Amino acid sequence: MSDCKVVYGPQGCGKTKHSAVLMQKLGCTSVIDIEDVVDLHALPADRLVLTNNPATAGALNYDEIMAAG
């Protein structure tokens, strides 16, 4: 599995708007905003991947990350 972090949340919840905060919290260097993550192995390391697909293996919940402070 790649070292990228995948964050999911429904469309319009603020993932893209707050991507700088998410990158800082998760130690990522850039953002990839896609609806469906097909193969995490193909993604570069240190990336923050934003998706609205909660079934993506290993995806973190947007609301839980933001609530963590």
The pLDDT, as a whole number, for residue 62 is: 96
Tell me which residue has tokens 């193969």.
Answer: 39
Question: pLDDT tens, position by position, for the chain (69 residues)?
Answer: 457 899 999 999 999 999 999 999 999 999 988 866 666 677 778 889 999 988 888 889 999 999 987
pLDDT at 65: 94
pTM across the whole model: 0.83
CB atoms within 10 A of CB 9: 22
Domain ranges of the chain: 5-67
